[in-house]
Amino acid sequence: MPQDEDQVVDGDAAVVAGDDAPSVRQPLDRRRIVAAAVGYIDEWGLAGLSMRRLGSSLGVEAMSLYRYVPGRENLLDAVVESILGEMLADEEILDEPRDGWQDFLQRIAHGVRRVALAHPKAFPLVASRPTEAPWLRPPLRSLQTVESFLNGLLSEGFAESAAVSAYRAFTSFLLGHLLLEVSALGADVGPLDITDDGEERNHKPMTFPTVERLSDALAEDHSAVEFEEALEELLERIALIRSESAH
């Protein structure tokens, strides 16, 4: 049967799972490799990711991947770009304020949180990988996002100094809260590293009676409510910054 002219079959391509005809192969390219890396991290975590294992998950030899990604470090940078790309594609996030700066920032905050919860084990990479510019702060790591953020606040009457202060406060809030939240979902965030069930990896005998008595309450997950309350407090702080800069 003649091959479709638009179908490019790569010698390194992996057989598509579930295809009726094993001779039909899905082309291997950078986009597909990065998507597979994100999926691997989502399922297994960052620590186990290697070019060999990623190649195995795609049904190809590891060497085949190097035609599209120079190495693991480049791959991790691409994973961050992919995650940030999801945020940029989020239709709920606005390029500029429509209903005031508070709504504008709330939409950005919830968009970042959606990405973090969609990829909790990959999200710490957003905090640790090199940025497009040395002064960019995670998790707003792209120049496009920061440009929109600052211009949005300036269009709402913020002085430049107030917009920069808001950017610093906003990113600190998001990073701190979301790293804590994804750590409870199995993300490896170094000192905050905990198991999937929320217990410390290095479990020690309970010797503090008050903590033990309140352990059930302490283990309750109120992340969504706490995020909303902290976000409201942050917006009030930013409003104060804006007001003070106007005088």
The number of domains in the chain is 2
| pLDDT, tens only, 23-71 | 346 788 999 999 999 999 999 998 889 999 999 999 999 999 999 999 8
| pLDDT, tens only, 189-233 | 764 333 334 344 444 445 667 666 766 775 788 889 889 999 999
The pLDDT, as a whole number, for residue 24 is: 46
In this structure, are 13 and 122 located in the same domain? no
The pLDDT, as a whole number, for residue 204 is: 47
With 0.85 as the threshold, say if the pTM is over it.
no
Residue 21 has pLDDT above 60, yes or no: no
Higher pLDDT, 142 or 100: 100
Q: Are 182 and 192 in contact (CB under 8 A)?
A: no
**Which residues span the domain enclosing 136?**
92-245
CATH number of the domain at 120, please. 1.10.357.10
In this structure, are 97 and 37 located in the same domain? no
DSSP 125-164: HHHHSPPSSTT--TT--SHHHHHHHHHHHHHTT--HHHHH
In a domain, 76, yes or no: no
Phi/psi region, residue 186 (left: phi>0; alpha: psi -120 to 50; beta: rest), is left
The pLDDT, as a whole number, for residue 173 is: 94
